[in-house]
Homo-oligomer: A and B are copies of this chain.
C-alpha cells in the first residue's frame, strides 16, 4: 500500500486507479487545479468521473474547493491538519492575473471582521488578486 493509498484509506475514500492518479496529479502541482486542468492532463478521463471524484475528495476532507473569482472552481489538496471541512481553516487565496494560477496561502488566515449588529458570520472567503511571486521576478 503506497503513501497515497494510505492517505485515501485514512479518509475513507476507496483508492481506485483514477483517484490515485488524480491525487498524484494534484500533489505534484503547487497551485490549485480546475476540473478542466485534470481533464486535459488525462485526456482519456471522463469529465463526470473527475467531477464526482473531486466532489468525493471534498466531502471526505481531502481537498478544498476554492472560489478565486474566475467563475471556475479550483481545488487544492488539504494540508495535514487542515480543518476546512468545518470552516475552521480560513486561509486566504491568491490569484495571479499574469499566469492565472491560484495558490493557497495557508499561513495567512483571514482576519476577524467586526460585522454590524445582527449579522452572523459562518464562513469567509478572501482572495487577493495581483502578481504572484513567480511572475513578479521576470
Interface residues of A (CB under 8 A from B): 67, 69, 71, 73, 92, 94, 97, 105, 107-108, 110-111, 113-134, 136-137
Contact = CB atoms under 8 A, between A and B. Distances in A.
Contacts of A73: 71
23 contacts: A67-B69, A69-B125, A92-B113, A105-B116, A108-B113, A108-B114, A108-B115, A108-B116, A111-B111, A113-B126, A117-B133, A118-B132, A118-B133, A118-B137, A119-B131, A120-B131, A121-B129, A121-B130, A122-B130, A123-B128, A124-B126, A125-B129, A126-B127
A121 B128 contact: yes
Contacts of A119: 94, 128, 130-133, 136
Given A97-B122, A122-B97, A128 B115 contact: yes
